[in-house]
Structure 1
Amino acid sequence: MRSSWAFRDRTEAGQALAERLQEMSLTNPVVLALPRGGVPVGYEVARALAAPLDVILVRKIGAPGHEEFGIGAVVDGAAPQTVIDEAAAQMAGATPDYIQRKVAEELALIERRRTAYRTGPPVSVTGRTAILVDDGIATGNTAQVALQALAGTSPTRVVLAVPVAPRDTLTRLGAMCDDIVCLAVPDPFHAVGAHYRDFGQTSDAEVIRLLQLARDDMASATRP
């Protein structure tokens, strides 16, 4: 891990992350990216590892009146899972009714994104090495709920791979996965975007394009 690192953009960050992951013994890997910013990073990792790329659909739960301040996260599925930072929620004045309403709203958005993003059937992680990728981690709430969701899908190994994150968050998440690969661990940590020269928003169109490109790559690799 490095204490500081400025990435040109998510593509460069993904390529650097892929180099580190290639040094590991990863059996039958599948890359699961957190949309939207994690997808360009995940695409570079998947391409380097010749692995399938899919998304894991998680949404942040924002504080009342301050949506950018995350107090938790939610992931959909047969049994939707929610992680709430109780201390942060109480400090922000988020009532149980507010949280329940926000969870329902975010699950509805997840479903719309699932319909838009899905370029084929979901990739199974059962019996495989699941690599969870994002463009960086701050509070870790989104990564935490994603790791909880992965635990129920029977992977043989779970790797959390990100370009940048604070040390305390990595320590907390370490108990939820088998390995962590993180290239930059700044101290003090201010924001993920501070470590990118280009941290522009990733569009839905770009997510769809990269997911389809990844599927095309895998089809070409398996074609006789």
Structure 2
Amino acid sequence: MRLRSVLPFADRVDAGRRLARQLQHLAAPDVVVLGLPRGGVPVAFEVARALGAPLDVIVVRKLGFPLRPELAMGAIGEGGCEVIDRAEVALQGVTDEEVRAVERRERDELEARVRRLRGDRDRIDLTGRTALIVDDGIATGATAEVACRVARLQGAARVVVAAPVAPRSAADVLDAADALVVVESPEPFRAVGCWYSRFEAVTDEEVAALLGA
């Protein structure tokens, strides 16, 4: 059997439109689309527009190991939520105080980013609603997992995670989601950016403009 090659997405707009076609069954008055800043927001904007749903952000921050900040030991989100890989923390010999120091630093940045992105706008109330969390791709799933917990804390009755691209193992790690929708699940996965022809960095100003639109 010949396996088809996975063509990359042109950019986040293209990815959002293709993802939106997979999400038409979710179009309903109670759905709120929540983009994960920064890269997930342009994708979420296209989804929200296609579904006729309101758009907001759900802000989370990766917690990197003190000596290897590119490697996630967990993540935090609004409302005091956090996910820590305690087994990996112990394996790396990181102390509780070191974990707390990283969390304090990232918590300050998270709160500052919320102010930059939303400005004076209040977050959309999720009480009793379906939270559709959108990112430009899923790698480890740690960030999406925290976002799901934040949405639950904010009152969401149902949480769906959606992304243009994710590894086949993503569903195994997203225990907090009621459903996962993915357009492509290539193997080997490598990295999210590998599946985009253009994968430029997204700025806070661009995110704020999309939310304002």
Task: Tell me, yes or no, whether TM beats 0.5.
Answer: yes
* 1:20-35 alignment, distance < 5 Å: 20-24=22-26, 26-35=28-37
Residue ranges of structure 1 left out of the alignment (5+ in a row): 214-224
Deviation at 1:84, TM superposition (A): 1.0
Q: Secondary structure at the match of 1:74?
A: strand
Tell whether the 8 Å contact from 2:135 to 2:163 is kept in structure 1 after alignment: yes
Tell whether the 8 Å contact from 1:14 to 1:41 is kept in structure 2 after alignment: yes
C-alpha distance after superposition, 1:144-203 (max 9, x if no partner): 111112122332321111111112222221x32222101111212211111111111101
Q: Secondary structure at the match of 2:63?
A: strand
Tell whether the 8 Å contact from 1:5 to 1:184 is kept in structure 2 after alignment: no
Residue 124 (structure 1) aligns with: 125
Q: Which amino acid aligns with 2:124?
A: V
* 1:128-147 alignment, distance < 5 Å: 128-147=129-148
* Whole-angstrom CA distance in 1 between matches of 2:5 and 2:159: 24
Taking structure 1 as reference, are residues 172 and 3 closer, same or farther at Cα in structure 2, changes over 3 Å only? farther
Residue 38 (structure 2) aligns with: 36
Mapped pair 1:191 → 2:208: no
Tell whether the 8 Å contact from 1:60 to 1:72 is kept in structure 2 after alignment: yes
TM, length-normalised to structure 2: 0.92
Tell whether the 8 Å contact from 1:31 to 1:131 is kept in structure 2 after alignment: yes
Q: Larger relative contact order (C-alpha < 8 A, sep ≥ 6)?
A: 1
Q: Secondary structure at the match of 1:68?
A: coil
C-alpha distance after superposition, 1:104-152 (max 9, x if no partner): 1111001111111114111011121110011111111111111112122
Tell whether the 8 Å contact from 1:158 to 1:177 is kept in structure 2 after alignment: yes
Tell whether the 8 Å contact from 2:11 to 2:198 is kept in structure 1 after alignment: yes
Tell whether the 8 Å contact from 2:29 to 2:53 is kept in structure 1 after alignment: no
Mapped pair 1:70 → 2:72: yes
Q: Secondary structure at the match of 2:23?
A: helix
Q: Which amino acid aligns with 2:6?
A: S
Task: Give the percent of matched residue pairs that are identical in Structure 1 and Structure 2.
Answer: 45
Residue 85 (structure 1) aligns with: 85
Tell whether the 8 Å contact from 1:3 to 1:184 is kept in structure 2 after alignment: no
Number of residue pairs the alignment of both structures matches: 209
Taking structure 1 as reference, are residues 190 and 27 closer, same or farther at Cα in structure 2, changes over 3 Å only? same
